[in-house]
A and B are shown apart, each in its own frame.
Chain A
């Protein structure tokens, strides 16, 4: 009799351990920014192919969604195109009793795109010119500020039509963050945000909406993501950086802007717009993963930490194929150390 019990319980134990083994399936949910969604999808997919027991489900619903959901604890980690504000961090601390960590993943940039009949040259834009146009103070293409920066180009005396993004977006945040840094008036009158109260202009939906509007409307100017401009072979202008050099946006000049940053703060919450340094493009930004510093489930914690390490090594090699600029080496080294803060 006892023998039979022994056999049965052994069988039962075997079944249970098999069950436990299959419970090693780790399902992680994440959500947030739409801008890095193509590269995130590729990363999560490749990582799943490498380690089939780890699946990361990313919902690309916007940076606001990422911040809210990670604070509410409905996703394991979030993603955002702008760093969380002090107030948001405090709210996270109050609600979850632990800190939130920012991990830069890739870099993005905005470029000014325009359509002036008869002008084919690549235009140079000073920060003052861009701020003036978007504040509605520079209203004609032959304004002295524009003429001065573009010697040899005959600019018409036509009214400028401004186009901006209609929906809240990280692209807008990078643009207005730059304008806030270079223009006191912009900072006080309009400020920073994923959507702002635009002094002038039309709203186009998405990069395609802005690009389409600029293409159709003579004498217009708008801004789109660098990736979008590159993939669609659009013409865009150079922008003067803080060292006084007119720089054309490219993956290399965006990485240069991040590398030129003097010191990276411990929490990685940093804006790199209006960068200085040789070849540094001034309208660039990091995009971040928002990861809680305390993850209760040990399997999830390990999976997320391993993924971060992989993303910073192998993952970075995939970025340029999708037209995202890589992180500078110094930032990667610092992030690798920061992974240990996740407990």
Chain B
């Protein structure tokens, strides 16, 4: 955006054909058109996506209206559809993943960028980037066969500490909102670490030297100078992680329990929007059923927009206050 306003060739008076041809020959005009097309195509794809979701969900939008978002019965046989349990499951699992993933990811990134010897840092970073490329179905299988049995044996300990809250009450079947949150954490942490590390490494050394010269300790420098400087980039990594966790399908459906009901307990099974679409779309016969699943897609799109918007406002608020 700012690139356009600061480049002043567009503001030149028109009619100077010679100058235009010169620019064309130098490639400026060509590059402008090509890159503009690239940028517009993103806009077009998004618009087309929303348009398709909107038109194909007409049937349920007319039948249920806004109550689609607030009712919680999902009965394909009777033709009653409500999205609330799926919205709840999506938000809760992603929130849980961020809650565990942010401290873990940012902490690891600080260590790798600021404190670890270069050799260890590079080796670990390579492994982390490898983790980010693992297909999600692998994480799902790991979840079913390794993580869920582990959580099952860890359950008494968790219950002993946190059992007094309604969040950890009720029977535990292994598959649950909690398990899905933990699997999502494992999936998003590599994103947070890998990007945050790059951002922290990009902080100019003068910043560190200045702080150290003023008598700050190594940790004070990192915490009070480097991290605030890199805050925007770290936030960016968290957005990316959030986007991945909201839309994650395969790994979630394998461990979340796939039960479209709202339970307060994290130990109870739940469901997510992406998971129900993947599970039921192929066998969805009948216009209303399919329309309901497509509207869920629209809801997921809206939910992602809203959450990202709120998060962006949050960042704006903190960066204004901070001296970044």
User: Which residues on A are within 8 Å of B, measured CB to CB?
Assistant: 34, 61-65, 67-68, 88, 159, 161, 166-170, 190-198, 201-205, 209, 212-213, 216-217
Contact = CB atoms under 8 A, between A and B. Distances in A.
A213 B253 CA distance: 13
Given A64-B282, A88-B285, A213-B174, A166 B258 contact: yes
Contacts of A68: 285
Interface in B232-286: 253-254, 257-260, 269, 271, 275, 278-280, 282-285
Contacts, number: 92
Contact of A216 (B149, B171, B278): B149
B173 A197 contact: no
A167 B144 CA distance: 17
Nearest to A196: B77
Given A64-B284, A203-B258, A212-B144, A195 B76 contact: yes
Nearest to A201: B259
A88 B287 CA distance: 11
A205 B73 contact: no
A206 to B, nearest CB: 9
Contacts of B144: 209, 212
A170, A202, A217, most chain B CB atoms within 10 A:
A202
Given A64-B284, A88-B285, 9 more contacts: A67-B285, A167-B279, A168-B284, A191-B78, A194-B285, A195-B280, A195-B283, A197-B74, A217-B173
Contacts of A167: 278-280, 282-283
A203 to B, nearest CB: 3
Interface residues of B, number: 32
A69 to B, nearest CB: 11
A209 B175 CA distance: 11
Interface in B46-80: 73-78, 80
A62 B283 contact: yes
B145 interface: yes
A206 B306 CA distance: 33
Contacts of B80: 197
A197 B282 contact: no
Given A196-B75, A209-B254, A216 B148 contact: yes
Nearest to A198: B259
B218 interface: no
Chain B contact residues: over half helix, strand or loop, or mixed? loop
A159 B285 contact: no
B23 interface: no
A197 B78 contact: yes
Contacts of A168: 76, 279-280, 282-284
B159 interface: no
9 contacts: A64-B284, A65-B283, A166-B258, A168-B280, A168-B284, A197-B74, A197-B78, A197-B80, A201-B259
Given A166-B258, A191-B77, A213 B284 contact: no
B149 A63 contact: no
B152 interface: yes
B97 to A, nearest CB: 20
List the 7 closest pairs (A to B, CB-CB), nearest first: A168-B283, A203-B258, A62-B282, A166-B258, A197-B75, A167-B279, A191-B77
A60 to B, nearest CB: 10
A48 B74 CA distance: 43
A193 B77 contact: yes
Interface of B: 73-78, 80, 144-145, 148-149, 152, 171, 173-175, 253-254, 257-260, 269, 271, 275, 278-280, 282-285
B174 A65 contact: no
A166 B253 contact: yes
Contacts of B284: 64, 168
Given A64-B284, A168-B280, A197 B174 contact: no
B82 to A, nearest CB: 11
A202 B275 CA distance: 14
Nearest to A197: B75
A217 B257 contact: no
A186 to B, nearest CB: 11
Contact of A202 (B78, B175, B279, B285): B175
Contacts of A194: 76, 283, 285
A106 B306 CA distance: 49
Given A159-B171, A203-B257, A213-B174, A193 B282 contact: no
A88 B283 CA distance: 14
B308 to A, nearest CB: 28
B274 to A, nearest CB: 13
Contact of B285 (A64, A201, A203, A217): A64
A212 B94 CA distance: 25
A67, A197, A201, A203, most chain B CB atoms within 10 A:
A203
Contacts of B282: 34, 61-62, 64-65, 167-168
Contacts of A212: 144-145
A338 B278 CA distance: 37
A213 B175 contact: yes
Contacts of B171: 159, 161
Contacts of A197: 73-78, 80, 260
Nearest to A71: B285
A133 to B, nearest CB: 15
A68 B74 CA distance: 22
Contacts of A63: 283, 285
Contacts of B254: 205, 209
A193 B280 contact: no
A68 B173 CA distance: 37
A321 B93 CA distance: 44
